[in-house]
Amino acid sequence: MTTFYLICFDVRDAKRLRKIANEMENFGNRVQRSVFECHLEASQVQDLQQRLENWLETSEDQVRYYRLCGKDKGQIIVDGTGRVTSDPDFHLL
């Protein structure tokens, strides 16, 4: 079962930033420049963290992983364009 994560990052170097953003696109949907919504299994979160460690300079950069429950996800408000991403494995019949 997947869990909804909001993942955001702040990376100082443009080259590292591109590599991290490209890697993030393999795991979730970009909702802002450095913010992604992801539906991930626990093992996928660990895999993502390990992959990003290859590019992060921990003295300058940071990545934040916010795990949100269904109740929290239901409270997200989007002003302007866009919408909260849905779990690709969940279908309401």
What is the pLDDT averaged over residues 56-80?
A: 90
pLDDT of residue 92: 41
In three-state secondary structure terms, 80 is coil
Strand-pair partners of 70? none
* pLDDT tens digits, 13-46: 999 999 999 999 999 999 999 999 999 999 999 9
What is the pLDDT averaged over residues 6-12?
A: 97
**How much is the pTM?**
0.84
Cα separation, 78 vs 18, in Å, equals 26
User: In the chain, what are the domains?
Assistant: 3-73 (3.30.70.240)
